Structure 1
Amino acid sequence: MSRLRDGLPRNGDPRPHFVVCGADALVYTVAEELANAGHRIRLTVIVPPDLRSDVPDLGTLRGIRVVRAERLDERTFRAAGLADAAALALVMPDDVVNLHAALCAQAVEPDLRLVIRMFNSGLGYGVRRLFEDSAVLSDAAMAAPAFVAAALGEVAPTHVRLPGRTVYVARRADVQPEHVICSLTAADGAGRVDVLPAEPAAEAQQPEDLVLAEATGRPAGQTLAAQRLVRARKRRRHPLATFGRAVRAALNRKLGIAVVITLVVTAISGTVLAHAAEVHGFWKSIYVTLLTAVGSSDVEENRNAVAQAAQLVLTIAGLALLPLITAAVVEGMVNARLALARGAVPNDRADHIVVVGLGSVGTRVLRQLVDLGLEVVAIDRRADARGAKVAEQLGVPLIVGDASLEETLRAASVATSKALVVVSTDDVTNLQAALNARAARPGLRVVLRLFDDDFARRVEDAFNIDISRSVSRLAAPAFVAAMLERDVLATIPVDRHALLVAAVRVLGGAPLDGAPLSRVDRALSVRVIGLSAAGAEWVDWAPDPRRVLGAGDRIFVVARRAGLRALVEQATPPAESLLVERAETPGEGRDQRP
């Protein structure tokens, strides 16, 4: 158990001690969120001696202790007082460094609660199994819903990626009944709105009520296999369209102009030559023209000057024509092959969303947009980007090029797109791409990722960018919630309330151990949306309420903060719940300094 569940810290100070380790902007935002979370805590932040320039000064945060260390090893953790810590957040920008630090921290304090940042989701599953009391989070996963919501013009980030599915908040009237997971609000007709109500009867349901729904990216009732079959049939029905896209991809504008100019010169010179040499008949004119063009003509001294000049120009044009045709054929074949393999972007594509940057954030944004059934075009400067294979699997066209260049944005048909989401890791490229896209289409919705939060706010105001986001600012609340709560996956703003999507594990000897799942559901407080059996990663998103819970089961819920706290107590043995209450009760008359 973590220190919050294991009793008071060893030094007798009733204030929980939290430790945060990081090297980029996320370490500052997590520390700031903890310092402003409204809890009386002790906070230690471990950072390398030389922090990145985009990390604000930690000294501006009051009441924290800063430890600078080259390595996150046992010696560093002991010096930071990890032995009496309630939780440790490892938010270094390297999965291997975080895993090594977690192993070292466990050697110092085996019962420590760990909150670990992981980019690789597969590795994250393994790490979660390795450490009993841990939460493995991805800042990319936490930030992606905000970018998706901003691209769609929504007020709040309402799309959340869960294991195997994406869920979102919508009006009941906009969702097929079979895709509704649970009700989030219900109007009683008298002006009162209940949050997390019991599921209303069909006749009591209002079109404006908010619901949590599953994003499938396909029509209601259609299976994934059926969706793939329909896509395959569509491709077979339109072979000419596929061929046309390949031909358009094969044509290079500059090379095409050169070929056309050369052909025009050849035609004019051939006509003049045939007329001056008194060649009669259409076929004979073509014959003489083509032979001269390929350099097979003989010098005719007896011809007049006009014929000789035309023959000279034609011979020179022929010498230029052959390599141009060869270059056009070779480049065309290469481009057509790539277009057929990846899927070219039709020139008439419209109302799609362009995603720039297929790193950890961009890949998750791409997945969620496709889950929502939206047309997407991706851009990345590398053909082997993290999300390139994902784009290929989802049938999303990928343009390899520099998004800061106008021709790259034109290739993605940005002038006819619905929105541009720029989430690469280069602030300069992101800003340049946003400005060029705005120049191509002044009213375009632009969602821009910038690393520095203050810079993001200023760019939004100065350049009239619709939405500029800092990933660290978006992700930090989830990391803090995981340290203060248990397995909070996302926060969904609904009305004036904040609902938490969380996974709570049932411990042996807890009140819920051996109880039916129906006991968890509480109107206006907690709604069950899924269940994962002990030791399994697979989640049952339609669990039977009569299912008897056992130790190790994970319950996925949407809850209010007080409801989640009560659920955690139900999932914890009574003796440990008492210790949690003692650990979370602030002491009186204690020194607030670390």
Structure 2
Amino acid sequence: MSRLREGLPRNGDTRPHFVVCGADALVYTLAEELANTGHRIRLTVVVPPRLRADVPDLGALRGVRIVRAERLDERTFRVAGLAGAAALALVMPDDVVNLHGALCAQAVEPDLRLVIRMFNSGLGYGVRRLFADCAVLSDAAMAAPAFVAASLGEVAPTHVRLPGRTVYVARRADVRPEHVICALTAADGAGKVDVLPAEPPPEARRPTDLVLAEATGRAAGQTLAAQRLASARKRRRHPVAAFGRALRAAMSRKLGIAVIITLVVTAIAGAVLAQADNVDGFWKSIYVTLLTAVGSSDVEEERNAVAQAAQLVLTIAGLALLPLITAAVVEGMVNARLALSRGAVPDDRQDHIIVVGLGNVGTRVLRQLVDLGLDVVAIDRRSDARGAKVAEQLGVPLIVGDAGLEETLRAASVATSKALVVVSTDDVTNLQAALNARAARPDLRVVLRLFDDDFARRVQTALSIDISRSVSRLAAPAFAAAMLERDVLATIPVDRHALLVAAVRVLAGSPLDGAPLGQADRELSVRVIGVADPGSERVDWAPDPRRVLVTGDRIFVVARRAGLRALVERATPPAEPLMLDQAP
């Protein structure tokens, strides 16, 4: 909480000032998160004069000051009152705009915590080195694992490195009981799911409940999903499988049928001709058949009518066979080269995953699915979409078209696909694609992105969509935590919630100073998973709840946002609620 006490405005208001700059749904969701934290803060939101239609009304948020500006420059930041602010979040949907804004903000307020949204991870690493107090986050990187896991019907692949151990999220059935740290969800069998419940008794534990588990590195700890995906990667790299894909790609279905029919007609006509001419011997039959097929035979009037008819059919078939063979060779070479380079089957696809929308989120989903060894087909309206080059590099077929149209989905073989992941930036297109896909394949697993979280929840219920999510809702808690809490270690997406893994320090004179550790644990809100002595790096991962907390203890918890806020307040002396530090 020290940053909250340090970053105070210079106009006499004792509340710390936070500034958020953005232009899409994330700016609203982040502002909502900050406005509802319960911290006594002032919040200013800087947005363009014209916002997207899907961004909710910021004016509905209580206590939020709105500044409209065309550019994020020094003048805009001075108008927003950035001088003396505690933190600035730059969540514009453009990396360069965010970087330029950060540089301008430093000129206005050098002692400022920056939280910057970046899509390009390489640029993000460089940006961190430019600023002393900076967190670089990607909403696409946070949301993509949730969409990938939903498309596979699995748990989001979340791993968190803590001092001395790595923890991950898994289903209870995939984890040995001794490796379970705490329960993350518990279903009551009637459709209700509790988040961060107390550990249920053995008879009430369900295999599908999510738990936080210790990663031991042993094969037994590997989930069934991980084993299946590892097997898929192995099959994908196998040279025989790659040759088989190329061989299947070398002949399209229609061309193959035409060639087969022509060859059958040629064989039958050749047999009739050989029989009519009383040709003796297998070689002479083959010789007469092939010679006639290529059109080298002369008209012989002395032959009987049957032989003449067979010769006529054979000659016509030969004329058709040569172009078909040429077309088959050309198409086969092209398709085989594409199949070998891309590792995918251009036609007759099945058990693949269709990704609609190659923007920030769709590109990351595409990469992760390919990394898992899965066959993917991409759809986007534009051939120059952000992820088009990524799809080309990864050998993923890209269909340019409107995913809301049935013919586009049919071109992607939706009827034989495993799942449809719709993550474009257009809610109407996303809904149309989901509904058309369900009409073509009622049992298809559909994962849908919608900007408004409430709308997404209602659509999932009303239309029986497997998963509908809001990217901004998944990412906003992490951005808010980066601005407010210095000890948040990671975020864990669980269903529609974002749980925070954090370390909270007990300060002298706080309600928790001298209290038993068990008082920090709150069912459905905060679960204590470890505690460390003052000044020690060693963490006790199985602490006794009767242990008495002392000044400087660090409590490691998994918590919901409101629960973490309450815990931080109880670990802070009540006599210092966000006050200016006393000057000597």
**Please, what TM-score do these two structures have when normalized by structure 2?**
0.71
Q: Superposed, which structure 2 residues align to 1:542-553 within 5 Å? A: 544-545=538-539
Query: 1:92, CA displacement in angstroms?
Result: 0.5
Query: 1:139, CA displacement in angstroms?
Result: 1.1
Q: State how far apart, in whole Å, the 1-side matches of 2:10 and 2:220 are.
A: 56
Q: Superposed, which structure 2 residues align to 1:46-445 within 5 Å? A: 46-148=46-148, 150-151=150-151, 159-160=157-158, 162=160, 167-171=168-172, 173-176=173-176, 211-213=211-213, 219-220=219-220, 241-275=241-275, 277=277, 279-303=279-303, 307-308=307-308, 310-344=310-344, 355-357=355-357, 359-362=359-362, 364-365=364-365, 376-381=374-379, 386=387, 398-402=396-400, 404=403, 415=415, 419-425=419-425, 427=427, 430-445=430-445
After superposing the two structures, state which structure 1 stretch, 122-131 or 95-104, moved more: 122-131
Q: State how far apart, in whole Å, the 1-side matches of 2:577 and 2:127 are.
A: 25
Q: Evaluate the alpha carbon distance shift between residue 510 and residue 280 of structure 1 in structure 2; reply closer, same or farther with a 3 A threshold.
A: farther
Match of 2:579 in 1: 582
SS at match of 1:262: helix
Length, aligned pairs only = 534
Q: Superposed, which structure 2 residues align to 1:450-489 within 5 Å? A: 450-451=450-451, 456=456, 460=460, 463-486=463-486, 488=488, 489=490
Query: 1:334, CA displacement in angstroms?
Result: 3.0
Q: Any conservation in 2 of the 1:422–1:430 contact (CA below 8 Å)?
A: yes
Query: 1:91, CA displacement in angstroms?
Result: 0.7
Q: State how far apart, in whole Å, the 2-side matches of 1:462 and 1:402 are.
A: 30
Q: Any conservation in 2 of the 1:2–1:112 contact (CA below 8 Å)?
A: no
Once the two structures are superposed, residues 230-272 of structure 1 have per-residue CA deviations (whole angstroms, 9 ceiling, x without a partner) of 9699669976555433322322112212222322333344344
Structure 2: gaps (5+ residues): 187-193, 510-516, 541-553
Q: Any conservation in 2 of the 1:526–1:560 contact (CA below 8 Å)?
A: no
Q: Evaluate the alpha carbon distance shift between residue 320 and residue 313 of structure 1 in structure 2; reply closer, same or farther with a 3 A threshold.
A: same
Q: Residue type of the partner of 1:168?
A: V
Match of 1:17 in 2: 17
Q: Any conservation in 2 of the 1:357–1:379 contact (CA below 8 Å)?
A: no
Match of 2:543 in 1: none
Query: 1:349, CA displacement in angstroms?
Result: 6.6
Query: 1:26, CA displacement in angstroms?
Result: 1.8
SS at match of 1:83: coil
Q: Any conservation in 1 of the 2:118–2:138 contact (CA below 8 Å)?
A: yes
Identical aligned residues as a percent: 74
Q: Evaluate the alpha carbon distance shift between residue 338 and residue 408 of structure 1 in structure 2; reply closer, same or farther with a 3 A threshold.
A: farther
SS at match of 2:83: helix
> Relative contact order, CA 8 A, sep 6+: which one is greater?
1
Q: State how far apart, in whole Å, the 1-side matches of 2:472 and 2:421 are.
A: 17
Q: Any conservation in 1 of the 2:356–2:424 contact (CA below 8 Å)?
A: yes
Say whether 1:34 aligns with 2:12.
no
Query: 1:132, CA displacement in angstroms?
Result: 2.8
Q: State how far apart, in whole Å, the 1-side matches of 2:484 and 2:184 are.
A: 24
Q: Evaluate the alpha carbon distance shift between residue 110 and residue 556 of structure 1 in structure 2; reply closer, same or farther with a 3 A threshold.
A: farther
Q: Evaluate the alpha carbon distance shift between residue 462 and residue 264 of structure 1 in structure 2; reply closer, same or farther with a 3 A threshold.
A: farther
After superposing the two structures, state which structure 1 stretch, 105-114 or 401-410, moved more: 401-410
Match of 1:514 in 2: none
SS at match of 1:107: helix
Q: Residue type of the partner of 1:401?
A: I
Structure 1: gaps (5+ residues): 187-192, 512-518, 532-542, 547-553, 585-594
Q: Evaluate the alpha carbon distance shift between residue 530 and residue 414 of structure 1 in structure 2; reply closer, same or farther with a 3 A threshold.
A: farther
Q: Any conservation in 2 of the 1:17–1:87 contact (CA below 8 Å)?
A: yes
Q: Evaluate the alpha carbon distance shift between residue 456 and residue 561 of structure 1 in structure 2; reply closer, same or farther with a 3 A threshold.
A: closer
Once the two structures are superposed, residues 160-217 of structure 1 have per-residue CA deviations (whole angstroms, 9 ceiling, x without a partner) of 355798831432x53146865667699xxxxxx99699x99xx999966963136799
Q: Evaluate the alpha carbon distance shift between residue 177 and residue 353 of structure 1 in structure 2; reply closer, same or farther with a 3 A threshold.
A: farther
Q: Residue type of the partner of 2:324?
A: L
**Please, what TM-score do these two structures have when normalized by structure 1?**
0.70
SS at match of 2:443: coil
Q: Residue type of the partner of 1:31?
A: A
After superposing the two structures, state which structure 1 stretch, 295-304 or 213-222, moved more: 213-222
Q: Any conservation in 2 of the 1:380–1:398 contact (CA below 8 Å)?
A: yes
Query: 1:471, CA displacement in angstroms?
Result: 1.6
